[in-house]
Structure 1
């Protein structure tokens, strides 16, 4: 059985790997490759956020009896990340690598801080608090991802 932390850490790595491919295309100004690669990254990233926001966070909120704690902070940060990503997508559509990398710098800082909190604090906490439910939660997250990919959903 995988822990919640392991499962979501691996998800972070897959998103990071896809982003790296898109960023390399943009650095080469290969816009034909960059747009679909970045779109795939956005789909993977949204799917990851869905796993957290629709499955993990509600379970944590119930277990802790508080929807205004750490999950509220994470949801707010997700909003900031989505905003930067929207700016980056717009820059790709304009074929503006300078604007893309300006927003990429901001995203990198936000993402590093966010992932450190999730991987260092939130996910291990979830494994402790949701110990008896971890396998079912991971299965639900995997099921959500599968259902969305089969439906052709961008998220």
Structure 2
């Protein structure tokens, strides 16, 4: 998979399309919740396999953290380490901006995935868009 920061309107639309497929169509998140006001200030990433967009995410900087958000991989591409590679690309961006801490709100079914990547649960469970989540953090090298 080739991962790149979104630079063009077409790439942004491709990232939004992947997010819409995963979060709106598959997980039933309302479209106006999925595409929100924070998209304007975020760094968006898109992942391509054979030229086809299959993964997306965004990074924002909040307080002293780089915040990983909207991480998704199309269903037929899961289980191929694409998610781990997206996280690494996001962490690289955070580190290059001089931040040493990363934070994310994980859907509870994905806690083990993030723990394998070095993230620790730091909150009680809470609901976001009707889906149970926890906040997780990681100190970056």
Note whether the superposition's TM-score is higher than 0.5: no
**Richer in helix (by share):** 1
More strand by share: 2
After TM superposition, the score normalised by the length of structure 1 is 0.25
Q: TM-score, normalised by structure 2?
A: 0.27
Q: Which has the larger radius of gyration?
A: 1
